[in-house]
Structure 1
């Protein structure tokens, strides 16, 4: 055991030394130091713009959004007025506000400069109309005593930034005691705005510049480790530096609030590259495996950056954290309530995804913050590996390196996948993470299935069945179609004997694989929920007595129009008509190119997705078909774009333009989702 530990430590040190050597080799290039120096100068110049920073405390009536103030406030109460069914908060007579507590702090990180004029719209909030005297502090300045009147007024003080370039102001207020309100109440604050005093030059926030430099260095290191061409590296670094400069000048708080997290996540993403590259090289040795690993690391970064951004809100994350905690305590059989459109009542909630994450609880601990980070990062890592598998599917089918890279890039910023992270459909995404390996298994199972491969297929199918009901249903439909296609395409000649014909036509071993997985899932989990059907009937009857019909029973054509064209054609749809057309075209091209295993898998995935929409016959809410079909869509799109690229210069230009547009669309949709969801 000691020798094994020593060897493991030696291997780890050797790997660290090799990676540090790679980074050092890239950092020694004079071109890199010049680029970093130019970026720092550019960011320092952007700090000279010094825009007015405004926080609409409690929400903005004009945009009808609230919550953007929360990351900058410490020890404030929740926003008011409350959002009521018959009166939204922005339509209330009282403007939005938050109560401070006896000691509350406002922090504007990385704002830079030195002296700022702070305007605070506030009132005493005393029922008797009296004023109160409070103490306001900033950095090392002396405390300022201000008398706050009963009516809302704007108070101005000069506040100094700290040595790190952060503007921090603390309010110390006498407590308002109300017998019917247990909260700690100070004064209501309506708006805070900070404007620079004096003229340029303004002092940049050196700490923010350091974090941004670390992020830019990490970006360059990832591209170097992924063996990206020099042109791509230079272009990406330049665009990143310019984006940071624009945000410092125009959207400063949006960047500075996340700058440390961005830098840390980028370097964690760098660590993923050698592991993914080693796995891909061992599976399919090619010189572009590092590029696929780099795209996979980028996919993980994009997902994590959106989830942990201070602006991000989610509806279901807490559910999965609670479920993981329950599984850690040994609770494996539980249900969750279905929405009315899906039929209402309880539904078995498989624990497979949580069981996959369970061993890592030993490393992170079981406190809520650690479990939350584990659910987010673990789900993002497992699901991001689909990016590498899409590359592997196309490379194994001899579609070419460009097709494989294009397919991986499109999946890295897939809008329906990213939206699911924002909503918090993490159990769905963990189950979806195992679909891609199953697709890879299907491409190899068309010809022959060894006993070892049969075991792998059984385990993959079982994990999916035990991870999420919707993904399990879509997977079952896909496998049924695949078996049917397998039977039809392997039909022997009429001269073959009957026994041989049946033995050749019917894929007995894959059928056995799926049957064993299904029986095991039924025995291990679903057999414990025989009572659910009756409870759902009771729940539906109870709601019906209240005049609520679940599901509502919309006409089938209306449901199809809502859940299929409604997710494709409207502006900002998760699946654009362009990527859908390219994906279908690529699937047709793959079928024509006689790539049997890949074409059969794609056909099964598309037809199985269509079959799974049959749930609309009994429900008003289908499975998440956009998520399930997107890997197959990206495989086809990669092949189609690679074929288009071969059409001389015009084809290359059109390919790159289309690819850049789809990448931009995915990132812009993700930013919009993070910024607007639940606002």
Structure 2
């Protein structure tokens, strides 16, 4: 054991030394230092356009959004007024606000400058209309005592930034004791506005510049490690520097609040590249494995940055954290309630995704913050590996280097997948992570399947069946179609003896693999929920007494229009019509070119997805078909774009236009989800 530990430590040290040497070689280039110097000068210049910063405490009635103040507030109560079913919060008589506690702080990180004028709109909040004496403190200034009147008024205060360029103001307020309210109440605050005082030059926030420089350096290091062309590297670094400069000048708080997170995640993504590169090189030696690894690491970064962004809100993340904690305690059989559109009542909730994360609980610990980060990062790592598998599928099918990289790039910013992260559909995403490996298995199983390969197929299918019911249903439909296609396409001649005919016409090894997986899933998990059907019937009957019919029973045409056309043709739809068109076109091209078993696999994915929509006949909510089909869509799109690029100069121009449009579409949709979801 000691020898093994020593060898592992030596291997790790060798790897770290090699990576540091790579970074040092890139960092010694004079061009890089010139670019970094220009970027720092550009950001310092952007700091001279000091914008007025406004925090609408409790929400903004005009935009009807709330929660953007949360990252800047410490020890404040939740926003008020509450959101009521018959009256949204922005339609209430009182303007939105938050109660401070006895000691509360507002921080504007990286705001820069020196002296700022703060306008704080606040009130005493005392029911008897009496004022209250509050003490307000800033970074290096003496405390100021203010009499806060009962009615909202705006109080002005000159505040200096601290040495790191942050602006802090602490409110110390006598506690208001209310017999019916157990909260710690200080005073209600309605709005905080910060305006720069003095003349230029304004002092930049050196800490923010350091974080941004780290992020830019990490971006360049990732591109260098991924063997990106020099032109691509230069353009990406330039675009990143300009984006940071624009945000400093126009949207400063939106950048400074997330700058440390971005820098840290970028360097973690860099660490992932050599690991993914080594795995891909072992599986499929090629000269572009580093590029595929870089795209995969970028996919992980996009997912994590959206989840841990201070503005991000999610609806279901807490559910999965609780479930992981239950699984860690040994609870494996549990149910979750279905929405009314899906039939209402309990539904078995497979624990496979949580079991995949369970070993890492030993490393992270079982406190809630650690489990939350584990669910987020673990899900992102498992699911983003589909990016590398899409590259692998196309490379093994001899579709070409460009097709493989194009398909991987499109999946890295797949809108339906990224939306699921905003919602918090972690079990769905973990189950989806195993679909791409199953696609590889199906592609290789077109001709013959050894019993060892059959065992791999059994395990992949079993993991999916034990991870998420919706993905399991879609996977079952895909496998059924694949078996049918394989049987039809490899049917023996009519003159084959009957015994030989049945032995060769049917793919017995895959059928056995899938059957064993289904029986095992039934025995290990689903057999424990024979009572669920009756409980669902009772729940539906109880709702019917209240006049609520579950599912509502919408007309089939309306459901198809909502769940299919609405997810493709509406503005900002998760599946852009252009992406769908090139995905289908690529699947047809792959089938016509007869590239191994990939054509049959793609056909099974598309036809199986269509078959899974049959759930709309008995439910008003289908499976998440947009998530399930997207890997197959990206495989086809990569092949179609590579084919189009060969159509002379016009084809190449159209290819890059489509590619960058779809990348922009995915990134813009991600930004929109982070900034608007649950607002």
| TM-score where L is the length of structure 1 | 1.00
Count of residue correspondences = 679
The residue number in structure 2 matching 1:170 is 170
The residue number in structure 1 matching 2:16 is 16
The residue number in structure 2 matching 1:456 is 456
Alignment of 1:96-495 (within 5 A): 96-495=96-495
Deviation of the 1:652 alpha carbon: 0.7
Deviation of the 1:501 alpha carbon: 1.8
Question: RMSD across aligned C-alpha pairs, in angstroms?
Answer: 0.5
- Tell me, what secondary structure is at the counterpart of 2:597? helix
The residue number in structure 2 matching 1:630 is 630
Distance in 1 of aligned mates of 2:47 and 2:498: 81
Q: Can you list the C-alpha shifts for 1:320-358, whole angstroms capped at 9, x where unaligned? A: 000000000000000000000000000000000000000
Deviation of the 1:596 alpha carbon: 3.6
Distance in 2 of aligned mates of 1:230 and 1:630: 31
Distance in 2 of aligned mates of 1:523 and 1:437: 24
Stretches (4+) displaced over 3 A: none
Deviation of the 1:391 alpha carbon: 0.2
Distance in 1 of aligned mates of 2:666 and 2:492: 46
1:582 to 2:582 alignment:
yes
Distance in 1 of aligned mates of 2:457 and 2:25: 43
Q: Which runs of 5+ in 2 are unaligned?
A: none
Deviation of the 1:250 alpha carbon: 0.6
Deviation of the 1:668 alpha carbon: 0.3
Distance in 2 of aligned mates of 1:615 and 1:223: 44
- Tell me, what secondary structure is at the counterpart of 2:655? helix
Deviation of the 1:289 alpha carbon: 0.4
Distance in 2 of aligned mates of 1:199 and 1:86: 50
The residue number in structure 2 matching 1:80 is 80
The residue number in structure 1 matching 2:505 is 505
- Tell me, what secondary structure is at the counterpart of 1:196? strand
Q: Can you list the C-alpha shifts for 1:208-255, whole angstroms capped at 9, x where unaligned? A: 000000000000000000000000000111101101001111111111
Deviation of the 1:648 alpha carbon: 1.1
Distance in 1 of aligned mates of 2:573 and 2:96: 32
Distance in 1 of aligned mates of 2:404 and 2:293: 12
Distance in 2 of aligned mates of 1:574 and 1:157: 47
Q: Can you list the C-alpha shifts for 1:277-316, whole angstroms capped at 9, x where unaligned? A: 1111111100100000000000000000000001000000
Distance in 2 of aligned mates of 1:42 and 1:458: 56
Q: Is the deviation greater in 648-657 or in 290-299?
A: 648-657
Distance in 1 of aligned mates of 2:448 and 2:6: 42
Distance in 1 of aligned mates of 2:172 and 2:160: 18
Q: Can you list the C-alpha shifts for 1:604-660, whole angstroms capped at 9, x where unaligned? A: 000000000000010000000000000000000000000000011111111111101
Distance in 1 of aligned mates of 2:92 and 2:113: 37
Distance in 2 of aligned mates of 1:390 and 1:489: 25
Deviation of the 1:495 alpha carbon: 2.0
Q: Can you list the C-alpha shifts for 1:464-491, whole angstroms capped at 9, x where unaligned? A: 0000000000000000000000000001
Distance in 1 of aligned mates of 2:650 and 2:146: 68
Distance in 1 of aligned mates of 2:653 and 2:50: 39
Deviation of the 1:499 alpha carbon: 1.7
Distance in 1 of aligned mates of 2:594 and 2:610: 24
Deviation of the 1:594 alpha carbon: 1.2
Distance in 2 of aligned mates of 1:98 and 1:565: 42
Deviation of the 1:415 alpha carbon: 0.2
Distance in 1 of aligned mates of 2:98 and 2:385: 43
Distance in 1 of aligned mates of 2:673 and 2:522: 37
Distance in 2 of aligned mates of 1:159 and 1:659: 48
The residue number in structure 1 matching 2:60 is 60
The residue number in structure 1 matching 2:530 is 530
Deviation of the 1:199 alpha carbon: 1.4
Deviation of the 1:55 alpha carbon: 0.2
Distance in 2 of aligned mates of 1:150 and 1:510: 75
1:556 to 2:556 alignment:
yes
Q: Which runs of 5+ in 1 are unaligned?
A: none
Q: Can you list the C-alpha shifts for 1:377-408, whole angstroms capped at 9, x where unaligned? A: 00000000000000000000000000000000
Q: Can you list the C-alpha shifts for 1:500-540, whole angstroms capped at 9, x where unaligned? A: 22222100000000000000000000000000000000000
1:615 to 2:615 alignment:
yes
The residue number in structure 1 matching 2:571 is 571
Q: Is the deviation greater in 446-455 or in 261-270?
A: 446-455
Distance in 1 of aligned mates of 2:329 and 2:666: 38
Distance in 2 of aligned mates of 1:408 and 1:140: 51
Q: Can you list the C-alpha shifts for 1:150-178, whole angstroms capped at 9, x where unaligned? A: 11110000011000000000001111111
Distance in 1 of aligned mates of 2:44 and 2:456: 55
| TM-score where L is the length of structure 2 | 1.00
The residue number in structure 1 matching 2:40 is 40
- Tell me, what secondary structure is at the counterpart of 1:55? strand
Distance in 2 of aligned mates of 1:530 and 1:470: 18
Distance in 2 of aligned mates of 1:93 and 1:84: 13
Q: Is the deviation greater in 176-185 or in 625-634?
A: 176-185
Distance in 1 of aligned mates of 2:200 and 2:448: 73
- Tell me, what secondary structure is at the counterpart of 2:117? strand
Distance in 2 of aligned mates of 1:651 and 1:168: 55
Q: Is the deviation greater in 352-361 or in 442-451?
A: 442-451
Distance in 1 of aligned mates of 2:657 and 2:40: 30
Q: Can you list the C-alpha shifts for 1:64-88, whole angstroms capped at 9, x where unaligned? A: 0000000000010100000000010
